[in-house]
Structure 1
Amino acid sequence: MNFAQVIGQKEAKESLRRMCAEGRVPHALLLEGPAGSGKLPLALAFASYLLCEAPKDGDSCGQCRACRKTMEYVHPDLHFSFPVVGTKVTSDEYLPAWREALKNTPYMDLHHWLQSIGAENKQGNINKEECVLIARKLSFQPYESDKKVMIIWMAEALGKEGNRLLKLIEEPPHNTHFILISEEPEAILPTILSRCQRLRLARIAEEELAGALQAQGLSPERASEIAVLAEGNFRLALQWSSEADEEEGQLFVDWLRKCYLGKADELVEYAEKLAALGRERQKHLLQYGLQFIQQMMHWRMSRGQMPIRLREKQRLAAEKLASRLAFRQMEQVSELLDRSIAGIQRNAYAKVLFLDASLKMHKMIR
């Protein structure tokens, strides 16, 4: 991965180039920003730039031995740490799956990563054993480069175990660079944040997102529609451009219908069904719901002039419901979904959360 392959993020790329040109690359860099903005691709491109044997024109050369190895994610001085499941499981045990996932798309999110390793309803974390392994890896001299790079993806998954890395992050071995990546920096220990130089990425601009989608083979019209809907999230845009999101969309529409009808036995049954999905997929479903309701609100505000950019089945359902609801009702549902996402993130009991949300939604939309 090099800078040229990262979608958008011109200002962030320039900041990283200046750090290198001025010889002030931080020992700990935190890339933060919204989902799908390209934090992991940018971290990979920066790592490649740092390890490249012959960088040119503000980017890695793509031809040297180091670049060939970083492109395959096998450079011995490029290390990865990422959320896995299990109390004594480390990232190294999932490295083959991780490399395959990166080759598929470095714009993946935590939900898809955990699903790819069969996490089901378990949450990923970076545990004690992983922190010990990080320290051990970085205690060795570089193998092929004069630098070592450690990328910690979803650093919020460290939790309190991050305390074990404080001293290492503050005073790493010579020419060792940490690149932390986070969508929720407020969930990272303040003592770690204070030791990092922070660089925030913005959402990808619609024009840049549309251009990237056209490069994937979409028509300009379809690419433009998806770019608007995805709101700067390339991972989400990829889902919209395929059939991958169809199940979530239908799940949400079915849930809305049952909430509208308000039959108690069906609401209980569906709450159980949603509770069995696993927390990451539950968050994904609720986030889809927010987009669904947002499209309804745009359609209502424009008096039907602004098209609802959803798949055909979901679009028809959204138009039908939007014609029956007042704008304030849609706002209430959106706020409810927001609170539900926060509840899932706080490990709320999912069955109770979805049943409570179902009952409240029934009152809101009837």
Structure 2
Amino acid sequence: MTPPPPRLAPNGAVPGPEHPAGTVVASHNPVTSKTEQDLRQRLIHAGLPLHPGRSALQCGFDEVSGTWPVLTPDFLVTGSRVCVEFDSGYTHAGEENTDRRRNHLLAGIGWTVVRLRTGGLPALGPYDVTTETTSFTVAAVAALVESVRDAVEGRPGRVRHVPKAAPTKRKTSRLGSIARHKRLENAFYASWALDSGETARLVIMADGHFLGGTGAGWGTPAFIVRLGLDRLDRTKWRGNLEELLSDLPDEALRPTSWFPWGDELFTGVHADDVHVDRTFNVGAQAHIGTLNLPSVTTWTAESVACADGGTLELHPEAVDAGWRFADLRQHTGRDGVFQKYLLMRDGPRRGLQAAGS
């Protein structure tokens, strides 16, 4: 292909360059992309001294265009004749001839071009860095810094290719999904993959206050460990629970008692005379049960007094958890006196009669 004739001035003369060849001048194109600005900062952070702003270079005569172009590389390395170009696969695909001509013109005035070519673009020069990613990665920037230093020091160039990192296999969480319990109030299903390979079926009880282990049948899960998730927003439960369970050995995920404070809901002289239904849910709002006490004389929110002088009291930690007697009614049946009671958590007393027939 025959190059076009040089562009002529009005008087027919061939115009010369604006500046002596190789002169560094202020660029007439000061605009840079955000990507180039980011790359500049990373190169400076890596220790490369770059010219501030955008600088241009007066090149020699270009036979293709018939001009003496003034080219603006993306970055000039201070104290050297090395410049850096960032070639995005989006804008430089199919522009290899244009980019090679720029390399040739810059080499004609003694400058070495180091290119970072993304998106699978091929290398054009001996110091180029190529990568399959559409933008630059940490590894690509590190390779570019090494190539620039080779060019500055005059070491032989070698193309550095940074392959696209293989997608990381997502680590499977040992914690299963957390879902609201279908039967228990203020409780949530959970599961945990044990070191043994088995799966522990768990229940987060009392709105995240403690963790329970599922039992056979319809019994309420028994206490395993306090969680304290009730103080957190529910969106933060998963991360905190996963961290806690990761620190526990398999044997620590076995129930230790029926309730967070032990196996007894009641204390006092008559505590041993009371059978507590194992459906009692510490995290519920109410519980109804039956007592077989001697005749009740009085009762309060936290205790029951019997005619024999004995008492039945709610466990202090049950009281701390908000549980109170809300109603107690005495009945006489075929087998004698018995009582039906209502416990409520964090609820007002209903003020019903203390005893009745």
Give TM-score scaled by structure 1 length: 0.20
Give TM-score scaled by structure 2 length: 0.21
- Choose between structure 1 and 2 for higher RCO, CA contacts under 8 A separated by at least 6 residues: 1
User: In proportion to residue count, which structure has more helix?
Assistant: 1
The structure having more radius of gyration, on CA atoms, is: 2
User: In proportion to residue count, which structure has more strand?
Assistant: 2
